[in-house]
Structure 1
Amino acid sequence: MDGNAVRDVDSAHIWHPYAAPGQDVFVVASANGVYLTMADGAELIDGMSSWWSAAHGHRHPRLVAAAKKQIDTMSHVMFGGLTHAPAAQLTKNLMHLTGGAYSQVFYSDSGSVAVEVAMKMALQWARGRGKKGDRFLTWRSGYHGDTFATMSVCDPVGGMHAMWGPNILTEQVFADAPPVRGASAAQRAKYLEHLEQLIDESIVALLIEPVVQGAGGMRFHDHELLVGVREICERHDVLLIADEIATGFGRTGDLFATHAAGITSDIMCVGKALTGGFMSMAATLATPKVVEGMEPKALMHGPTFMANPLACA
């Protein structure tokens, strides 16, 4: 199918993210390294790394080789009651990369679902602790996904999901957007005081994008702010959930933004660069504190393509 034929089908029948049908699009024929080759032969630099996922460039030879080897063995098998070497090896790698801070990992097929799973973990942990809360505290300018629970913790005014409102989505608690990088110690302290004042018995967890708020405008904040956030969570016995889907695996210069700040979140979500942009996959990692406190112990979630062997490889 040539470029014009692709464009015709697309215009007539395909939705694109946050766009009405029929928008003008570029037709990509191939990708290699940082370059996208269009159907007309033009080359463009993939400056967004395909939404921050192609961390090593397109068609990286090591990733291509791993995918080809795995697809000849087993491209998919359900994860219910079964396991396999690619999942075990990936888990071992994640435990190593995170310094042994986390004890359990749940695999899913998108970053949005990874955050949904984190929220379920937090709610089950709260139930196990006898807490009556069922709400999440976050800050404005945040983005955590497009599924229903994650929409509720995205910025309710400036985000992509403002059209839904509190009558549709669970009403969460929002602090002001964090002060940007370079804020003074006094500014950070004032903000943390504001954040802490919003915590009451209804809050089970604080959910943030550490260091960079991506879709909210590439807003950077200081690592020191994360230290204060961690201390607040400890004082009030609420969980800290770090959405590192965009920031993980070196996207900010450090392997993980929270670790660069010298803190460990209770739950961490990773995705995007997890597979180097090869396939959709995400993971939610939990500390022993979370796992031991959850009730029931079974995490009530199970994607069809959970821990897909090809994605794990």
Structure 2
Amino acid sequence: MTTDDLAFDQRHIWHPYTSMTSPLPVYPVASAEGCELILSDGRRLVDGMSSWWAAIHGYNHPQLNAAMKSQIDAMSHVMFGGITHTPAIELCRKLVAMTPQPLECVFLADSGSVAVEVAMKMALQYWQAKGEARQRFLTFRNGYHGDTFGAMSVCDPDNSMHSLWKGYLPENLFAPAPQSRMDGEWDERDMVGFARLMAAHRHEIAAVIIEPIVQGAGGMRMY
């Protein structure tokens, strides 16, 4: 990667979560292996964020590489509307085997934000079909669910970048986040605020949305 490449990047490429007026320098990555990013000058950096928790098995994993190469030789991508294929069926069969009843149907989404959008739309459409005007969501503060508009509406409205969008987003219900840590004892008082909101707005709530096990971007807080 040349200095001209980096200069072009700085002038013309907008990176996510980056200041427009005083952007931090970017790391020029040439390759990646295991938990490390290998820069164009040969330096190695440990990717502690694991590409926003998406590369949980590490980079350049031989089994994953082989599976991707095999798949791309057959087809890289086809739309899923009105079409199915064996890899999707095999994946969904495994997912259904892992989930408890009655969770026996799968909708495949291409990102976390889109998955949240779809889940919220399903909840709203369910109550609409039932003839009930339930259009709000209950969640915890400090949560992060994505960057599309619906997902932003259930992220912390004050303690996050999503506060910039107040006035545009639907107003949902936010309970105080549990303070218990993974190495501590569970404190029932952590759920008092949540229970009060649930009771007071039970006829308005379409669904509850909570990050499972851990609040990631909200500070790696273990439930």
**TM > 0.5 fold call:** yes
Structure 2: gaps spanning 5 or more residues: none
State which drifts further: 99-108 or 212-221: 99-108
Q: What does residue range 45-60 of structure 1 map to in structure 2 within 5 Å?
A: 45-60=46-61
| Aligned-partner residue type, residue 29 of structure 1 | A
Which residue does the alignment assign to 1:168? 168
Which residue does the alignment assign to 2:6? 7
Deviation, structure 1 residue 138: 0.9
Deviation, structure 1 residue 187: 2.3
8 A Cα contact 1:140 1:176, kept in partner: yes
Q: Distance in 1 between matches of 2:160 and 2:120?
A: 19
Deviation, structure 1 residue 200: 2.9
Deviation, structure 1 residue 4: 2.3
8 A Cα contact 1:135 1:203, kept in partner: yes
Between 1 and 2, higher relative CO (CA 8 Å, sep ≥ 6) is seen in 1
Q: What does residue range 45-124 of structure 1 map to in structure 2 within 5 Å?
A: 45-99=46-100, 101-124=102-125
Give CA-to-partner distance per residue, 1:7-37, whole Å, 9 cap, x none: 1121011111111345311110000111110
Which residue does the alignment assign to 1:218? 220
8 A Cα contact 2:175 2:193, kept in partner: no
Q: What does residue range 270-309 of structure 1 map to in structure 2 within 5 Å?
A: none
8 A Cα contact 1:175 1:198, kept in partner: no
| Coordinate RMSD, CA, aligned | 1.8
8 A Cα contact 1:3 1:27, kept in partner: no
Deviation, structure 1 residue 183: 4.7
Deviation, structure 1 residue 168: 0.6
Which residue does the alignment assign to 2:18? 19
Q: Distance in 2 between matches of 1:86 and 1:6?
A: 38
- Change in 2 beyond 3 A, CA 1:11/1:189: closer
Deviation, structure 1 residue 180: 2.2
Q: Distance in 2 between matches of 1:56 and 1:184?
A: 30
- Change in 2 beyond 3 A, CA 1:86/1:100: farther
The answer to whether the aligner puts 1:156 opposite 2:157 as a matched pair is yes
SS of residue in 2 equivalent to 1:132: coil
Which residue does the alignment assign to 2:141? 140
Give CA-to-partner distance per residue, 1:113-134, whole Å, 9 cap, x none: 1000000110111123322111
Deviation, structure 1 residue 175: 1.1
Share of identical aligned residues, percent? Answer: 52
8 A Cα contact 1:3 1:40, kept in partner: no
Structure 1: gaps spanning 5 or more residues: 222-313
The answer to whether the aligner puts 1:202 opposite 2:204 as a matched pair is yes
Deviation, structure 1 residue 147: 0.4
Q: Distance in 1 between matches of 2:107 and 2:188?
A: 39
Aligned residues: 219
Which residue does the alignment assign to 1:190? 192
8 A Cα contact 1:179 1:191, kept in partner: no
SS of residue in 2 equivalent to 1:79: coil
Q: Distance in 1 between matches of 2:220 and 2:57?
A: 21
Q: Distance in 1 between matches of 2:197 and 2:50?
A: 33
- Normalised TM-score (structure 1): 0.66
- Change in 2 beyond 3 A, CA 1:168/1:192: closer
8 A Cα contact 1:6 1:27, kept in partner: no
Q: Distance in 1 between matches of 2:205 and 2:101?
A: 27
| Aligned-partner residue type, residue 91 of structure 1 | C
Q: Distance in 1 between matches of 2:101 and 2:34?
A: 32
8 A Cα contact 1:137 1:199, kept in partner: no
- Change in 2 beyond 3 A, CA 1:184/1:49: closer
Q: Distance in 1 between matches of 2:91 and 2:101?
A: 14
Which residue does the alignment assign to 1:33? 34
